A and B are shown apart, each in its own frame.
Chain A
Amino acid sequence: MSNLFDKRDVDVAWCPGCGNFGILKLVKEVLEELEIKKNSLVNVSGIGQAAKTPYYIDTNMFGVLHGRALPVATGIKLSNENLCVVAEGGDGDMYGEGGNHFIHTIRRNIDIVHIVHNNMVYGLTKGQASPTSQKGFVTGVQVDGVINEPFNPLAVALSLKAGFVSRINIGNIKHAKEVLKEAFLYKGYALVDILQPCVTFNKINTYDWFSENSYVLDDSYDASDFEQAVKKSFETIPMPIGVLYKNKNSAVTFEEAKRGRDAKPLHSVTHDMAKIQRLFESY
């Protein structure tokens, strides 16, 4: 089925069966269904297999360096708040190399959708552990298995009072779409951590493994209860999926606090030279 965001003449560089295909399809469908305009959307990504996603979507994109999608996305949103800004990449990109930016982007509460493909392994560098790899995971580098505690992005995001914290499983596409749409509609920083298998380098955390080791938060779960969300975020096997936390009273966003509501895009902001003259002459 064709989609408005299909990009023509591109050579997709993923392995056959890769979970990224499902995420690409999901993102394009959500964009189309939410009627987001191509030229008012910017997708920023770093480096890695997941970070290639924006290259396959027909929209504005800025493919930057490993770990740096978030500060670039911040600069874009600060420059023009009318743009819908997405930062997309993998677990190594966003939680490892870009870990410091992850922390401070949440603190800023910039109005972006932060999509992280979490396959618990490094794909592009061929199979090393990622920050989210499970303990005991054996690789060519972690020859005796991973000994570090896995990074918990949801708990970290909640500890920093992120307004929208979610996890989805690409194996459950219907549910994933609902959550991703909600993330796009949320005003403020929204984290969507996507469980996704790497069919080449992670033979443990497969489509089946993710389905067997996760459960969907049902209607009885109150996503506005912060303390409950914190507890949920520490559940590991099985992992809860869905919107863990959504701040009902969405806070003032970074760009609003910085420049006020309905600020002019900076490309049309010039300074009053007569005023510069006056200020200079006060010296």
Chain B
Amino acid sequence: MTVEQVKRYNGSISILIGGAAGMGIATLESILNNAFKKSGFYVYSTKEFMSRVRGGSNTTLIRISDTPIEAPCWSVDISIALDALALKHMQGRCHKDTLIFADEAFGEGNAILVAMKESAKKFGNAKYANTYIAGMLFGVLSIDKSFLLQSIAEHFKGDEVNKEVAEFGYEVGVKLENKSKFKLPKVDIEGLKKFHQMDGTTASGFGFLAGGCNMLTAYPMSPSTGVLNFMAAMSKEFDIAVEQSEDEIASLHMVLGGWYAGARAMTTTSGGGFALMGEALSLSGMTETPAVIYLAQRPGPATGLPTRSEQGDLNLAVYSGHGPFPRVVLAPSCLKECINYGYLAFELADRFGIPAIFLSDQYLADSISMIEDVDFASYEQRRYIVKTQEGYERYADTKDGISPRGIPGFGDGLICSVGDEHDERGQITEDYNMRERMVAKRARKNNELIKEAIPPEVYGEGDIAIVGWGSTKGSISEALQNLNNPDLAQVHFAWVYPLSKEQLSVLGNFSHIIVVENNADGAFANQLRLHDIKIYNQILQSNGFNFFADQLTLMIEESIKEIL
């Protein structure tokens, strides 16, 4: 079986659009996503782009379907090149039946030539090429153009020319040959109305808002900056103090100052920035000051591939910071989980007095999919702050290790938080008995924390578990549907650290465990091995993309061939 032959489980259509940075692909993506949703399709889009502001060669993949869709595919049905470089860049993803569109100025080979630039010029601006393409695409697919015109009207408020260009493009598309071979997915215009379209960045932002985030200090770094921007925009709507710090060291220390005085604070960063936060993470652990860190991974080491994706920082998240202390690492896998775990990160940090690391990546942050209505009233607003009395002790040695957390100016007690080893009052000590007591107290918090560990989601009833974590869920799930093999089941983790025996007990039900990770070190499989889980096989990748569902289908097929 080849990638092109991978049978799609649904009637989805995939469209790949390529061009240079600055050509307006993002606008085109936004118009089309909205128009396809209005037309009654489930829509998914993702992008891969170079680390440059202008030029280069970037692509956006849009998929439409009649069932929810949350994964990229390598092989595409339609390819649209906005420039010659893109035509070449996308070649590998086209097969013999792919409809390839290119401008007449540079098109070659089996590309269908259209007058993108000339038509745009006729209407007075090269930028109209995007609207022309949108119109043409709707024409080629024979989808009711009124949805596209609505979307364009919403996007370009009041600009009538764009509508004219779209109509013009539509007529061109309708008249093109080959268009009839597409069988469109079924539409459900009414059903789709309860869905919302957003990327992982936005969903995570809503999760943090639901978690009561009212302070964010961060240093910009791709691919985490989206959440910083989101919260900055939200600071116009809510009482949120947002500050761009001088460096990541300052970011997390400001966050700790914020929590110490009662804020619900967070920072956003990627691996390189998080590396600088190691000491502050350790300070959070020692002083038992909560912290929430949105860590959006990109491939490393060092600068790595700044705008691409990888699950390469699990070990960094789990082990960074000197000295042992409890922490939680959450890796949501879809929009709904971005919201739930964004909320949960604040809850856990506050309740246990620990750092909570929310592990996303470029793929999850930048990909757009659909999420059903969410009831925000169900996210209860809790605070774990106590009003203090005189004689209050910040590090009271309690049974569960969690010392009631006071804040300065709220009650008559004094709050002494200390990065040195300390006694219950928060006074420096080198007493070896006290040291042992405090180490044990902090460790007991971990015993409480793992009781909260959320078991993995299990789909299917097969004997062979395809285990994943975080952003790979959609791809694994589509690959398994492609394979349609009753021997397979999907087991997917979002709570990735600390793992508990109870949480892992489900893995005992399988004859074989295969772990899929978008990294080179198999860090999660290694975590499982620490808990005596036997791994039969591993599927790893570190090419800067998320797994493409069609490619992953073949990888999984290969990985199980000796079992069956």
Contact = CB atoms under 8 A, between A and B. Distances in A.
* A and B assemble together: yes
Interface of A: 9-10, 13, 38-42, 44, 47, 52, 55, 58-65, 68, 71-80, 82-83, 100-101, 103-104, 258-259, 263-277, 279-281, 283
A269 B241 CA distance: 11
B253 interface: yes
Given A283-B197, A283-B198, A55 B257 contact: no
Contacts of A268: 262
Given A100-B250, A269-B214, A61 B257 contact: no
Interface in B350-391: 373-377, 379, 381, 383, 385
Most buried by A among B212, B239, B408, B427: B408
Sort A-B residue pairs by CB-CB distance and give the 8 closest, nearest first: A75-B257, A267-B262, A266-B263, A79-B261, A75-B254, A71-B253, A72-B257, A104-B246
A104 B241 CA distance: 17
Nearest to A275: B237
Nearest to B368: A283
Contacts of A59: 414
Contacts of B49: none
A6 to B, nearest CB: 13
B238 interface: yes
Interface of B: 196-198, 202, 206, 209-210, 212, 214-215, 217, 234, 237-239, 241, 243, 245-247, 249-251, 253-265, 279-280, 283, 287, 373-377, 379, 381, 383, 385, 407-420, 426-428
Contacts of A38: 414
B414 A39 contact: yes
A39 B209 contact: no
B283 A64 contact: yes
Nearest to A279: B237
Contacts of B259: 75, 79
A71 B250 contact: yes
Given A275-B238, A283-B197, A267 B407 contact: yes
B262 A79 contact: yes
A270 B202 CA distance: 20
A63 B253 CA distance: 12
B260 A259 contact: no
7 contacts: A39-B414, A65-B279, A71-B253, A72-B256, A266-B263, A270-B212, A280-B196
B265 A79 contact: yes
Contacts of B243: 74, 78, 258
B200 to A, nearest CB: 13
B217 A75 contact: yes
A60 B381 contact: no
Contacts of A74: 243, 250, 254, 257
B27 to A, nearest CB: 17
Given A64-B253, A75-B215, A279-B237, A39 B412 contact: yes
Contacts of A42: 260-261, 408, 415
A76 B261 contact: yes
Given A68-B249, A258-B243, A259-B239, A80 B279 contact: no
Contacts of B376: 273-274, 276-277, 280
A59 B414 CA distance: 6
Given A74-B243, A275-B238, 18 more contacts: A40-B409, A42-B415, A52-B428, A64-B256, A71-B250, A71-B253, A72-B253, A78-B215, A78-B241, A78-B243, A79-B262, A80-B262, A265-B262, A266-B214, A267-B407, A271-B214, A271-B381, A277-B375
Contact of A266 (B241, B381, B420): B241
A75 B265 contact: yes
A66 to B, nearest CB: 9
A154 to B, nearest CB: 21
A101 B258 CA distance: 16
A281 B375 CA distance: 10
B245 to A, nearest CB: 7
Nearest to A97: B249
B418 A101 contact: no
A210 B327 CA distance: 48
Contacts of A263: 239
B239 A264 contact: yes
Given A65-B280, A75-B256, A279-B237, A60 B414 contact: yes
B241 A39 contact: no
A101 B250 contact: yes
Most buried by B among A40, A73, A101, A280: A280
Nearest to A42: B408
Contacts of B385: 267
Contacts of A277: 374-377
A276 B209 contact: yes
B258 A79 contact: yes
Nearest to B245: A71
Nearest to A104: B246
B556 to A, nearest CB: 33
Most buried by B among A13, A40, A264, A268: A268
A13 B197 CA distance: 60
A39 B409 CA distance: 5
Contact of A265 (B197, B261, B412): B261
Given A59-B414, A267-B410, A78 B428 contact: no
A79 B374 CA distance: 30
B323 to A, nearest CB: 12
A258 B377 CA distance: 28
B440 to A, nearest CB: 22
A7 to B, nearest CB: 8
Most buried by A among B196, B212, B234, B254: B254
Nearest to A47: B419
B258 A63 contact: no
A76 B428 contact: no
Given A267-B410, A276-B210, A280-B206, A55 B263 contact: no
Nearest to A264: B239
B212 A55 contact: no
A259 B239 CA distance: 8
A261 to B, nearest CB: 14
Given A71-B253, A75-B253, A65 B283 contact: yes
Contacts of A266: 214-215, 239, 241, 258, 261-265
A270 B258 contact: no
A72 B254 contact: yes
A72 B238 contact: no
B214 to A, nearest CB: 5
